[in-house]
């Protein structure tokens, strides 16, 4: 998706004019008060989920799920940079951004073939091996032995949830 969408929503969700406009548009104040729990990647996941729901024509009886992977706590300086680059965030821009959010299109949504998924998996080589220093056998296991590889990860859900809870307690103090 276009990075500009996430940047505009970062401001909408966190600037006073944006939050005011969201409440005026009918978003419950309690939800608006928690939008700082979404960082750029979390907003990207939200937008991708909205696009997927539209693409697959989900309705009121369907459920779409995503993960909010970061919070504003990582991006406070980015908001300051955006104010310096683009000027103060005002009601007019907030109204434009709400309209953009309401009218997200399904551009860049693609049903992947097996070959497409394999190609994307191969793109992980750089980050998985070269940046993270992981073993090639582990990367290959993600594809070739996915039931065991991901099954082991699923067995760790309880421990991972506990780590997430600890992290959330730390940053939400």
Three-class SS string for 48-81? HHHHHHHHCCCCCCCCCCCCCCCCHHHCHHHHHH
The better pLDDT of the pair 168, 42 is held by 42
| pLDDT score of 126 more than 90 | no
SS3 165: helix
Give me the percent of the chain exceeding a pLDDT of 90: 72
Q: What per-residue confidence (pLDDT) applies to 78?
A: 93
Give the tens place of pLDDT for each residue, 98-113: 999 999 999 988 889 9
Which residues fall within 8 angstroms of residue 118, CB to CB, at 6 or more apart? 143
In contact, 49 and 6? CB cutoff 8 Å: no
- Tokens in use for 32? 């608006």
Provide the token pair at 128: 């998985």
Confidence of residue 142 (pLDDT cuts 50, 70, 90): very high
């Amino acid at each position: 998706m276009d990075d500009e969408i996430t940047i505009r929503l970062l401001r909408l969700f966190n600037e006073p004019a944006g939050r005011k406009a969201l409440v005026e548009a009918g978003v419950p104040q309690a939800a608006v008060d928690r939008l700082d729990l979404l960082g750029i990647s979390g907003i990207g996941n939200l937008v991708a989920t909205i696009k997927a729901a539209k693409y697959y024509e989900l309705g009121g009886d369907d459920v779409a799920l995503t993960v909010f992977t970061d919070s504003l706590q990582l991006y406070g300086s980015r908001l300051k940079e955006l104010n310096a680059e683009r000027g103060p965030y005002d009601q007019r821009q907030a109204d434009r951004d709400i309209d953009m959010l309401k009218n997200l299109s399904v551009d860049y949504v693609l049903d992947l073939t097996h070959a497409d998924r394999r190609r994307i998996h191969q793109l992980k080589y750089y980050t998985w091996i070269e940046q993270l220093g992981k073993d090639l056998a582990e990367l290959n296991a993600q594809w070739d032995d996915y039931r065991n590889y991901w099954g082991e990860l699923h067995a760790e859900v309880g421990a991972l949830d506990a780590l997430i809870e600890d992290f959330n307690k730390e940053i939400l103090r």
